[in-house]
């Protein structure tokens, strides 16, 4: 009896996600969404290049969506089949290594979130509209793709919906045309972007331009929340000014958009050039200020500089968490040192079973990853000094702009900013489970 050969795994944290044999350079999406009945019809054209000779390949796609047609270089393949959230395509003739090719997929269905160990992820129907919360693997809930963070591409997104609704996606809004009660919105995102960071936000929203920001900034939100927004989000221009000073130039050409949904969200989330908050984060209390800083910082750490493997997620969350502390320090709140001492005490009281450099899939979004990651950066800052620390962060965001990274990339770069070895620091904070003493001031 022959044994079934298991498919190779790209990332053990999400073993069924990602695809071999090709690299996508561009997605062109043409979508039609009917809000009232949650019906999506779409065509996506994918431009890619083979990394090896291919006789078959796959794309990630939710089982909730049905594929009706596939073309490869304009011709029908030998076969295509959908199974286990994959679209498997068998070619009529093999493609040689290094060959450019296009794949066109026509599909439809009622999109729904994927059920994952981290809860529901992806396309979610709202009371009045829809949202996409893509991290870590939710892109496949609404379009066929290579849904791994290391797979970055540019995007052209055309989406039609009923005219009363505003549609927000990534990049620059290049056109908006209304016809027969429906409006077609077209967005262009030239910067290489991971699929999970591509979003779709649909609602009864108004647009508010945010003045006095060094980067073009707008908010999209229900009219009823505009007064609270003016209180809760009024510090965003100052945050942007601080972060562009500390982290380097804002990494996108199209500016920054904040979406406030009419529904409550458990946590806000990041997308490329967009942050999404729930109505519960916009109540006039200012209680979400640290979250506002956190999501903005992800535009540098996570969205532009993105992990190649999910085990290195501290490079996203630890950095964004430390940005919260830097904002607090700048805005006259608790200093980064005060916050480091506070969260060091909390970590010391928590179970010492987390390895920051490889926390495991169950704990990749554990708050200890966020806080221990921020503490690691604070200890590094105190060791190498402010001048070297912030020069390192700017070097990091410049050198790896719109690229994929691993922890060793950061450690190697940090070594250039200190005259002696930092191995003791990395061993204690990244590669050991016990929480080290906090010797930093």
127 known member of a binding site: no
Q: Which residue has the tokens 């009923």?
A: 162
In CATH terms, the fold of domain 206-299 is Zincin-like (3.30.2010)
Which sequence spans correspond to the domains of the chain? 22-115+138-189, 206-299, 307-429
* pLDDT for residue 2 is more than 60: no
Structure tokens at 171: 């990049």
Which residue, 123, 101, 148, is CA-closest to 42? 123
* pLDDT for residue 5 is more than 60: no
Average pLDDT, the chain: 96
Mean pLDDT of 40-45: 98
Structure tokens at 320: 């964004």
Structure tokens at 165: 């609704």
Residues assigned a catalytic role: 295, 370
* pLDDT for residue 80 is more than 70: yes
Confidence band, pLDDT 50/70/90 cuts, at residue 343:
very high
CATH tag for 307-429 (out of 1.10.390.10, 3.90.1150.10, 3.10.20.30, 3.30.360.10)? 1.10.390.10
Domains 22-115+138-189 and 307-429 share a fold: no
What is the model's pLDDT at position 439?
Answer: 80
Contact yes or no for 14/137 (Cβ under 8 A): yes
What is the helix (H) or strand (E) element at residue 242, kind and residue range?
helix 236-247
317 known member of a binding site: yes
Q: What angle do CA 58, 60, 61 make, to 5 degrees?
A: 120
387 known member of a binding site: no
What is the model's pLDDT at position 4?
Answer: 43
Q: How many CB atoms lie under 10 A from the CB of residue 296? A: 25
Helix, strand, coil percentages, rounded to 5, for the chain: 30, 35, 35
Q: Where are the alpha helices (DSSP H) in 13-69?
A: none
What is the model's pLDDT at position 440?
Answer: 54
Confidence band, pLDDT 50/70/90 cuts, at residue 245:
very high
Answer positive or negative: Cα dihedral of 184, 185, 191, 196.
negative
Provide the whole-model pTM. 0.96
pLDDT digits over 50-74, tens only? Answer: 999 999 999 999 999 999 999 999 9
pLDDT digits over 380-423, tens only? Answer: 999 999 999 999 999 999 999 999 999 999 999 999 999 999 99
pLDDT digits over 146-187, tens only? Answer: 999 999 999 999 999 999 999 999 999 999 999 999 999 999
CATH-assigned architecture of domain 22-115+138-189: Sandwich (2.60)
């Amino acid at each position: 009896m022959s044994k079934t050969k298991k498919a190779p795994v790209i990332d053990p944290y999400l073993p069924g996600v990602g695809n071999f044999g090709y690299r996508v350079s561009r997605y062109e999406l043409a979508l039609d969404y009917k809000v009232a009945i949650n019906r999506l019809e779409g065509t996506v054209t994918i431009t890619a290049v083979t990394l090896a000779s291919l006789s078959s390949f796959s794309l990630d796609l939710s089982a909730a969506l049905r594929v009706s047609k596939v073309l490869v270089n304009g011709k029908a393949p030998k076969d295509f089949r959908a199974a286990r959230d994959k679209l498997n395509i068998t070619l009529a003739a093999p493609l040689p290594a290094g060959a450019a090719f296009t794949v066109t997929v026509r599909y439809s269905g009622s999109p729904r979130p994927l059920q994952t160990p981290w809860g529901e992820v992806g396309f979610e129907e709202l009371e009045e509209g829809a949202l996409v919360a893509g991290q870590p693997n939710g892109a496949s809930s609404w379009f066929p793709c290579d849904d791994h963070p290391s797979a970055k591409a540019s995007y052209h997104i055309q989406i039609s919906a009923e005219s009363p609704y505003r549609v927000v996606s990534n990049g620059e809004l290049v056109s908006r045309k209304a016809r027969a009660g429906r409006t077609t919105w077209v967005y262009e995102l030239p910067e290489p972007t991971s699929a999970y960071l591509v979003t779709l936000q649909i609602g009864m929203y108004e647009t508010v331009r945010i003045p006095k920001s060094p980067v073009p900034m707008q908010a999209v939100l229900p009219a009823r929340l505009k007064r609270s927004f003016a209180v809760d989000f009024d510090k965003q221009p100052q945050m942007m000014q601080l972060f562009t000073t500390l982290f380097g130039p804002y990494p996108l050409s199209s500016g920054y958009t904040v979406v406030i949904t009419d529904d409550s969200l458990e946590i806000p989330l990041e997308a490329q050039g967009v942050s999404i908050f729930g109505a519960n984060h916009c109540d006039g209390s200012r209680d979400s200020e640290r979250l506002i800083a956190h999501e903005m910082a992800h535009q540098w750490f996570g969205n532009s500089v993105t992990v190649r493997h999910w085990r290195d997620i501290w490079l996203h969350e630890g950095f964004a968490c430390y940005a919260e502390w830097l904002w607090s320090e700048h805005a006259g709140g608790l200093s980064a040192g005060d916050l480091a001492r506070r969260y060091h005490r909390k970590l010391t009281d928590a179970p010492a079973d987390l390895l920051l450099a490889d926390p495991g899939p169950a704990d990749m979004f554990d708050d200890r990853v966020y806080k221990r990651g921020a503490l690691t950066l604070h200890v590094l800052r105190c060791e190498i000094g402010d001048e070297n620390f912030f020069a390192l962060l700017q070097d990091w965001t410049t050198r790896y702009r719109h690229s994929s990274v691993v922890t060793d990339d950061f450690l190697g770069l940090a070594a250039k900013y200190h005259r002696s070895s930092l191995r003791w620091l990395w061993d204690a904070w990244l590669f050991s489970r016990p929480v080290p003493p906090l010797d930093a001031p």
